[in-house]
Chain A
Amino acid sequence: MSDSTIEWKKVHPASVFINLVPQLIRILRGLWIIILVLFFSEENQNLFDASFFFILLILGIYRTVVHFLTLRYRLVDNFLEIKVGLFYRQQRRLDVARIQNIELRQNPLHKLFHLSELHIETAGSSEEGLLSALRIEEAQQLRVQIIEQKEVPEHPAQQEPSITLGTVDLLLYGVTSNQVGTVVVLSAIGSEVLSLINPRTAQEIASNISLQNAIGIILISFGLSWLWSCLRALLQHHRFTLSMSDHSLQTVDGLITKRKVEIPREKVQLAMLIEPWLRRLVGYGTLRIETAAFGIEDGHIRKTEAVIPMVERENFSSLLKKATPQLDADPWNETLHPAHPKALYRGIARGFLQSIIPIAVLMFIFRDQPYAPALISLSVLSVPLSILDWKGQGWLITPNSIVSRRGYVNRKTWVIDRNKIQSIHVYQSPFMRIHNLAHIVVYVAGTEIVLPDISLEQAHENYENLNHQWIIEEPKEVLEEPKEAPTHEVSLGGDHTIPFDESTIDTDIAE
């Protein structure tokens, strides 16, 4: 029950000045497209500069003034309540236990007025500039009040490396990356830039390219992009090592910037195994582990992902199990539920549409060539790829995990622990409606897993099953009520009886 006699507190008036610059930056970030367009239009440059920035300034001042005038906050009963807004009113009640990180931040303007921002982060979101300027004493007091509920995170123990990757492994990693998209985009950009700079040269080149030369150029582009991805792989993952302990996973890599990523096991939200077809061919895959904001570490919230660039196929299952111990499914040795047959139509249609863009680009580049129109026939290639994609699709729901697999050219397998589920959604677009299909989307902290192309009935069945989990999984504070009151009393030798003890039921949890 909230005590409504606790009064609301306000933000300091100086916040209008202090917030102005950050607010302007935020507005600019939101308007970047307009700025770009205006920047590239030639007429009235001077006029636009002056009036544009004037309007921007007015907007910024308006926002900071509204923020100052309307923001109210108070701490009531372990809930932090914050209200803000004039036209668009927002009100938040935040359970203090949810706050993962809380810190005092000061910029020079703050220091001038003896103020500070109280920066609050919960799992999954961090609000910028909400409590933007409080008197230092107030901020500190509030922080202390909130922090009394915090748990201290454990410090991980030391561990020894279990996987190390050498230069050869990393070169293989670079070579087996899919680079088709990059090549097409680069070629398109390159040709357009060329025709802008020197139209006549571009024309000459374009009209002189025979089919053989065209193929040669494409091959060279592929070669260059492979070289590029090898270099990147070496730079990013130089001397990669993976170490695992009981509590956490640690990866260390990097040449110029050395990166050390440490993930406590229980913070793992999602594990993903990526197998581009070339890498699959040579028997390797990439393991990627995602987490969300977790805990306080040097005063910072961290969203981290760990990437293990090369894992041998025999080790997929065991490594996955070590990274996500609750996993009770083996996506490589179990059959997954296949995609619904009707999903094939959508898959092929989608493949066609996706192939149109690269083909259009190609046709544009070679538009002066006699063989240009024939390039359309390349879209037929998308059909076998779509069929392979559809065949490779699969999903699985086990008591502890959810598995999803998609893709052929770039096969990805996602795995989550059901205990990490944040929310579940079933989604159906009108096109899916035609075939009575639906997608299931399961959110975990910071990311999601999608089970596509399931029949609607099956999707809802899964939805209900997953919902049922909430009923079984009670939050820790609630004690189990005895399933049945013992109706008989057992006497064991002496006069022991087992009475129904009412004091074990905690009744004031739900209010």
Chain B
Amino acid sequence: MYVPQEQLNGRVTFYWRISRLFRTAIVFLPFSVGVFFGVLAISNFWVALTASLLFVAHRFFYTLIWPAFEHIHYRFEIREHDILVQHGVLFRKWSSIPLHRIQHVDTHQGPLQRIVGLVTLQIYTAAGSTFDGAIPGLRPQRAQELQQQIIQNRGDDGV
């Protein structure tokens, strides 16, 4: 099956790691303490400790190691008639969005992304209130280029 050519900017793994680290610190570490006490209520100390350590380990794996895999599997390409986006390691998704159906293309940049210098491109068709395709990890200039390139194409809405 055809693999789209372009990959995301390498910085995106850094961004993913940092943003997940934040969420781990704020949400998941307290949560793991909760898991510890929760399991402790049903079972003994060592089981509870193992459970919460496993939980933390899994979370760190997801934060530090997983982004590398996700980066490998995130690919996109703007072809002559459509945009292909493919992503996902466990939950894989291949998307094709015809250029002439695109309603608008948004660039989205959270504060952390701004620090790292990346931008997410969100592609909307008439299909719904959420985007049909998203390309994170783009340099702002590249995102602008892509945005211009995509939106030039016109066609009927198919509505």
**Contact surface of A with B, Cβ cutoff 8 Å:** 2, 79, 85, 87-95, 97-98, 100, 122-125, 267, 269, 292-294, 419-430, 433, 443-446, 448, 460, 463-464, 466-467, 470-471, 475-477, 510-511
Contact = CB atoms under 8 A, between A and B. Distances in A.
Interface stretch (B10-18, B44-52, B59-67, B90-98): B90-98
Interface of B: 1-2, 80-82, 88, 90-101, 103-111, 114, 124-129, 132-133, 147-148, 151-159
Nearest to B157: A123
Given A93-B104, A122-B103, A422 B153 contact: no
Nearest to B122: A90
A123 B93 contact: no
Contact of A88 (B98, B109, B133): B109
B93 A423 contact: no
Interface SS majority for chain A: mixed
Contacts of B93: 425-428
18 contacts: A88-B109, A89-B110, A90-B107, A93-B105, A93-B148, A97-B154, A122-B126, A124-B124, A124-B126, A422-B101, A422-B158, A425-B96, A426-B93, A427-B94, A448-B127, A463-B1, A470-B98, A510-B152
Given A292-B159, A463-B96, A443 B128 contact: yes
Contacts of B129: 124-125
A313 to B, nearest CB: 31
Contact of B108 (A2, A89, A267, A424): A89
Given A79-B151, A95-B154, A428-B88, 6 more contacts: A87-B111, A90-B106, A422-B97, A422-B98, A429-B91, A445-B125
Contacts of A471: 80-81
A443 B132 contact: yes
Contacts of A476: 155-156
A423 B101 contact: yes
A77 B108 CA distance: 23
A93 B147 contact: yes
A52 to B, nearest CB: 21
A123 B151 contact: no
A205 B132 CA distance: 54
Given A88-B110, A91-B107, A425-B96, A445 B154 contact: no
A423 B127 contact: yes
A93 B121 CA distance: 12
Of residues B107, B111, B125, which shows the largest number of chain A Cβ atoms within 10 Å of its Cβ? B125
A423 B94 CA distance: 11
Contacts of A430: 90-91
A443 B101 CA distance: 11
A124 B91 CA distance: 26
Of residues A87, A90, A125, A430, which shows the largest number of chain B Cβ atoms within 10 Å of its Cβ? A125
A90 B105 contact: no
Contact of A124 (B80, B109, B127): B127
Nearest to B81: A470
B22 to A, nearest CB: 14
A430 to B, nearest CB: 5
A87 B110 contact: yes
Contacts of A292: 126, 159
B153 to A, nearest CB: 7
Contacts of B97: 422-423
A421 B97 CA distance: 9
For the complex of A and B, the 3 pairs showing the least CB-CB separation, nearest first, are: A475-B155, A443-B127, A124-B126
A443 B111 contact: no
Nearest to B114: A89
B128 A124 contact: yes
A124 B125 contact: yes
A305 to B, nearest CB: 15
A293 to B, nearest CB: 7
Contacts of A97: 154
B96 A475 contact: no
B2 to A, nearest CB: 7
A184 to B, nearest CB: 30
